[in-house]
Structure 1
């Protein structure tokens, strides 16, 4: 088992680095600012999150065995795999949407999520650049219902592969026209406008995979082909991995963030 995700990292690099060089959204060096820290995130966070997911699954399955009727779990797990995967994508992304929105709206949670938004040069490696507390909490909220309801191992495995590659894609520095699919599937253009440090991007595009959720809840930002002027946050996020991990716990004044109070539902 590749517990540190080294194989996945190498395969991803072989795919994304050449494509980002040929079809980039904005000019950016491969060995860009923060690359070394992002590699540490891949190795350390990859291991920590794998352990966390195993624990989440174990505790959730124990609870499900007590609470959920076996007939219901058999019915859910007995559906065609493709249908289960579609259901998992919907259920998990609802969890991701609301967890993500909470991490923006609640100041104590924003301190952890600000680490992810501190990325100033966005590419595929940005998918790994999240504070462990942020990543684990979001995984717990989005995945617990999947284990609880009894989806099959095959469907969860298929979803995991789709989610991994799609997450790298939406963080990538690729200019890919999605056409009408942009309303159904989150694109790099959709997500880079979540990372933009510009007023029109504040508190927008929270969904991980399904832009429809942002449309339904009033947080969709349609940007056409515009390219963000800049990424990042206004606060001086530490440049080192351990500095960033400790950043949310450091005493300081009120954090500024790429979000403003809104009246949207």
Structure 2
């Protein structure tokens, strides 16, 4: 594939996964990197933030469960061009994907095969996958498809403990169906540098990252109510409050990620 596929993932919900995926996609678009966001989560929060149409329109669900050949026309019909960037919206029906794909041979490669089709019909530089927070077929499909994984994590005791389970999932994905999958790093989100407990837990997160063979991004996304306000307005943070502290953090994170990926930073 020509596109670099990045899965933003964590098996624990409420850790800034969608916020990270959406704002990373917006950041890359702002740097004129052709970027496609794909909402692999039945909660469809990325689709909602991008103000994508879900009902009455073709979605990722339709592409994954298409009986016939995936045509260029169908792919381009499913990609929605919004004010914030291009997206293939998710679908609440994705909750049925486990059952729908159960009898499909090589079902974990369903999304990967789809992305190869998309890559052949389009010219995106990056494809960002906003994954679901459950260890099921959809998540395995995403990890099977990705070149890189980004792991958002709140610097709290329980969230850090949950990284052990995620680590096992990633190792399993690498061993079973995607040996090329790399972890770009753990991204601390909702960070309050004034609180000792946050700083202490961040140290624990660095220990976890080392055991996973990766590192913690040098920038942490600072806690701010502006993040919730952007969600309420159905806007990416980088568009809603581009000069806010967490927006500035996300831009620095994006620059650091591009360095890791070997991409050129135009900003």
Asked if TM exceeds 0.5, the reply is no
Give 1 or 2: higher helix fraction: 1
Give 1 or 2: higher strand fraction: 2
TM-score relative to the length of structure 2 = 0.26
TM-score relative to the length of structure 1 = 0.27
Larger Rg: 1
